[in-house]
Structure 1
């Protein structure tokens, strides 16, 4: 089958905007047809720019500097596009969540020390500034 004849899988009903599903798969080689309700993979829901970014990111083995070079964009732009891609896939980066949890705990600890009078306001300000 000529892959250029294939269309992208629509994932929204053009009339109602509701979700679609795949109901039939066919093998051109054997003629077999499989019918049922199949989920559209979340990666098939990406737009062409997101697919290109994902492929370059994977070819770069997850290194944003490789994405920067390949696309001719800055690191902040590459990072923002990665965040957009993660959001489109419904994924939350591990490090952001873990780092946020750790920082949140440290901030809370500093504020508790301040509240108990264990440190001064200046010390708390300095310690909180280091965490940012």
Structure 2
């Protein structure tokens, strides 16, 4: 399930207003922004995780994913541009 970061009614970005500890039931209320990676789509988040696991080797990622190096490089460039807009 995708974590909702945009309002289903008006499409504005939502914010977290309450955190809860299931162990001791402590609650913290306030307005918290989503971390940058949480703003990415799940498949984009997975791409970032794979990038880290392959130590930033796009060549290895491309081989493992069965895609060309330029395709993987373009995906990384798209993510970089998207993150710059946050």
Query: TM (normalized to structure 1)?
Result: 0.60
Partner of 1:14: 8
Partner of 2:61: 67
2:35 pairs with 1:41: yes
C-alpha separation between the residues in 2 aligned to 1:36 and 1:57?
33
Query: TM (normalized to structure 2)?
Result: 0.89
Partner of 1:57: 51
Question: Which structure 1 segments of 5+ residues have no match?
Answer: 1-6, 92-132
Partner of 1:30: 24
Task: Considering fraction of residues, name the structure with more helix.
Answer: 1
Question: Which structure 2 segments of 5+ residues have no match?
Answer: none
Structure 1 stretches (4+) deviating beyond 6 angstroms? none
Partner of 1:95: none
State the number of aligned residues.
85
RMSD: 1.4
Question: Which structure's relative contact order is higher, taking Cα pairs within 8 Å and 6+ residues apart?
Answer: 2
C-alpha separation between the residues in 2 aligned to 1:9 and 1:40?
11
Highest Rg: 1 or 2? 1
